[in-house]
Amino acid sequence: MTHAERLLSRARAVAVLGCAVSAITLLAPACSPSHADTDIATTATVLRVVDGDTVDVVDDTRGRLRIRINGIDSPEVHKPGYSVGCWGPQATDFARTTLTGQRVAIVSDPSQDAHDRYARTLAYLDRPGGWDFSIEAARAGAARSYIYEHHPAARTPQIEAAESEARQAERGLWGPPCNGRTESVPVK
């Protein structure tokens, strides 16, 4: 093969590669990954866990925020005048173990309000690789799916599926001693 033929062969290979890259670039939006497959930008660090569904974070741009995690409810541990709910301390420990010090993305849900009546930011907390705290807490039996005022969150189906898995396995609050009963009662 002459030098000119080798150059022509390389030029053809580069052209074919360029066409392949162009085709992939055009097709990529049609084949975009689901939430579980995306790598998200983390913009906050979890400073402190208040309980199984509330945390304090410091956001890179907004500063310190209290986040009420969307789509879940964990047993009470700090409700004034009420008992600690069954599995409340364990749910808080699960959140503390999985979130404290972690970099997370604060993900709002357009189907939900931005803040609750206590001025907490309502959001999901995600980590890279598709990890969603709401789903993982439900899967661990540290929280149950929660629908506020008949308005399901966008991720409710995934959270309910994780809860169902925990129920079937009698994991966390779904097993003894709680067996799904985690209500707090007024104390005298």
Residues 122-163 have pLDDT tens digits of 999 999 999 999 999 999 999 999 999 899 999 999 999 999
Q: Is the pLDDT of residue 11 over 70?
A: no
Q: Is residue 19 part of a domain?
A: no
Q: Is residue 168 part of a domain?
A: yes
Please tell me the predicted confidence (pLDDT) of residue 40. 83
Please tell me the predicted confidence (pLDDT) of residue 38. 55
Q: Is residue 18 part of a domain?
A: no
- Outline where DSSP puts E strands in the chain: 44-51, 54-59, 63-69, 72-73, 103-107, 121-127, 131-132, 144-145
Please tell me the predicted confidence (pLDDT) of residue 62. 96
Q: Is the pLDDT of residue 119 over 60?
A: yes
Please tell me the predicted confidence (pLDDT) of residue 12. 47
pLDDT confidence tier of residue 24, bands split at 50, 70 and 90: very low
Q: Is residue 167 part of a domain?
A: yes
Tell me if the pTM is above 0.75.
Answer: yes
Please tell me the predicted confidence (pLDDT) of residue 57. 98
Say if strands 121-127 and 63-69 run parallel, antiparallel, or are unpaired.
parallel
Contact 51, 74 (CB under 8 A): yes
Please tell me the predicted confidence (pLDDT) of residue 70. 97
Lowest mean pLDDT among 27-36, 90-99, 104-113: 27-36
pLDDT confidence tier of residue 188, bands split at 50, 70 and 90: confident
Return the CATH number at 98: 2.40.50.90
Please tell me the predicted confidence (pLDDT) of residue 180. 97
Q: Rounded distance, CA 75 to CA 122, Å?
A: 18
Q: Is residue 11 part of a domain?
A: no
Catalytic sites, residue numbers? 68, 76, 120
Q: Is residue 72 part of a domain?
A: yes
> 60-72: per-residue pLDDT in tens?
999 999 999 999 9
Which residues span the domain enclosing 82? Answer: 44-174
Q: Rounded distance, CA 141 to CA 39, Å?
A: 26
Please tell me the predicted confidence (pLDDT) of residue 1. 58
Mean per-residue pLDDT of the chain = 85
How many domains is the chain built from? Answer: 1
Q: Is residue 28 part of a domain?
A: no
Q: Is residue 155 part of a domain?
A: yes
Mean pLDDT of 17-43: 46
